[in-house]
Amino acid sequence: MTSEVVENEFEFYSKAEKYWKDVPPTVDGMLGGYGHISSIDINSSRKFLQRFLRDGPNRTGTTRALDCGAGIGRITKRLLLPLFKTVDMVDVTEDFLTKAKSYLGEEGRRVRNYFCCGLQDFSPEPNSYDVIWIQWVIGHLTDNHLSDFLKRCRAGLRPNGIVVIKDNMAQEGVIMDDVDSSVCRDLDVVRRIIRRAGLHLLAEERQENFPDEIYHVYTFAMR
């Protein structure tokens, strides 16, 4: 539990904000020096997501998506804009969202909103999104804030909409990273928080073909 490793909540959040302010607004910066894995990541995410967008009575719509912890828009540009009519982006670092406007190019015209906000303080507009994509950012929220945020995401979904989390998973327990002021949780802890938020897991998948030295990465779809 984060309560065991996060001693000062205010410090936990402010230190993370300060860390990201010093990160260059590039794909390599967003991925902590692992920019070369971006295509592998995006291709796997697309396959995962497309299973919910296929035809069928419970098919997830493609009208609007939300990119949480969006950074400069790496996922918005390569995953969400090609699949959805419009996208909203939310990130705590204003410089990243400013950079996104040039990084996204012409297709960026279909980004409706750039929200500069920490996810602990952000509420998706109710009944608005077909997909809420949350990648490599849940470690910047305490357990309580993550659970509360996921509840607000649940309210933000349109009919048949899904929330997707893609993130690092620890082997056991919760590990603190003092450098960027984040935590890494194990699978059981993440599943427990998802259940606590009243969400039901639809699919879970481990990312393949990532470097051996980084944490295992899992993707979860829920509603």
Q: Is 135 annotated as a binding residue?
A: yes
User: Any binding-site annotation on 93?
Assistant: yes
Q: Residue 205: how many CA atoms within 13 Å on its side-chain side?
A: 18
How far out from the chain centre does Cα 31 lie? 13
| 120 annotated as a binding-site residue | yes
Q: Is 50 annotated as a binding residue?
A: no
- 152 annotated to bind ligand: no
Reported in sequence order, the residue ranges of 30-156 that DSSP labels E, i.e. its strands, are: 64-68, 86-91, 111-116, 129-135
Whether residue 62 is annotated as binding a ligand: the answer is no
- Is the C-alpha dihedral spanning 20, 26, 28, 33 positive or negative? negative
172: Cβ contacts below 8 Å, ≥ 6 apart? 186
Residue 103 CB contacts under 8 Å (≥ 6 apart), including other chains: 25, 72, 73, 77
Q: What CA–CA distance (Å, rounded) separates 19 from 104? A: 24
> Binding residue per annotation — 171?
no
Cα separation of 20 and 68, whole Å?
A: 15
Give the integer Cα–Cα distance in Å for 17 and 221. 27
CA distance 214 to 211: 6
91 appears as a binding residue in the annotation: yes
The residue among 173, 174, 138 whose CA lies nearest residue 16 is 138
Query: Which residues does the annotation place in the binding site?
Result: 69, 74, 91-93, 119-120, 135
Query: Which residues does the annotation place in the binding site for S-adenosyl-L-methionine?
Result: 69, 74, 91-93, 119-120, 135
